[in-house]
Amino acid sequence: MNVYDFDKTISFHDSTKKFYFFCIKKKPSLLRFLPMQGYYAIKYALKIMPKTRFKEKFYRVFSGIPDIDSFVEAFWKENMGEIKDWYRKNRRDDDVVVSASPEFLLAPICKEIGVATLIASRVDKKTGKYTGENCYGEEKVPRFREIFGDAEIEEFYSDSYSDTPLAKLAKRAYIVKDEEISDWVF
């Protein structure tokens, strides 16, 4: 099996960030959450708050979108072209995506492009609350093992060296920048 990060690896953008701005554009009243988000961003930047708790507070914005599923659907309809050509050519039926982005956001696009298994941050789409930790960095390994045990990863692809713990499980690992793929340097 091949394993991939999603944001800036399979897609050109950070899907959560792009979705946030998509939601603000469609529903400007969500800007009412901005002062609270700014407050928690400062706490996170000063290392007073861990990343998962910061994201949980930031994602409270989702509570202002009662029809969030329709927003997600419209977002991917508008952004389907963001999937990179190199991935479309390499895609296999047993592909796995392991991402820090919210599962509810990535599930529709992963289904659309034929990803067999999605492992992502478990975020309640109505409240922004997490179940467990943000699926980032070292956290990706236990989340992968939870589903696949000691299964071997043939190839791993990511845009970020923060994914080194998961890359170390693969026979071959690659760093992705736009459409360019190069060997992972440990």
Same domain, 89 and 120: yes
Overall number of domains in the chain: 2
Query: What is the model's pTM?
Result: 0.94
Residue 131: give the domain boundaries: 2-13+83-183
CATH code at 165?
A: 3.40.50.1000
**Which residue in 84, 90, 101 sits closest to 156, CA to CA?**
90
* CA–CA dist 160, 14 (Å, integer): 12
Q: What is the mean pLDDT of the chain?
A: 96
Asked if residue 186 has pLDDT above 90, the reply is no
**Which residue in 12, 3, 19 sits closest to 102, CA to CA?**
19
User: In which band, very low, low, confident or very high, does the pLDDT at 84 lie, cut at 50, 70 and 90?
Assistant: very high
User: In which band, very low, low, confident or very high, does the pLDDT at 119 lie, cut at 50, 70 and 90?
Assistant: very high
Asked if residue 149 has pLDDT above 90, the reply is yes
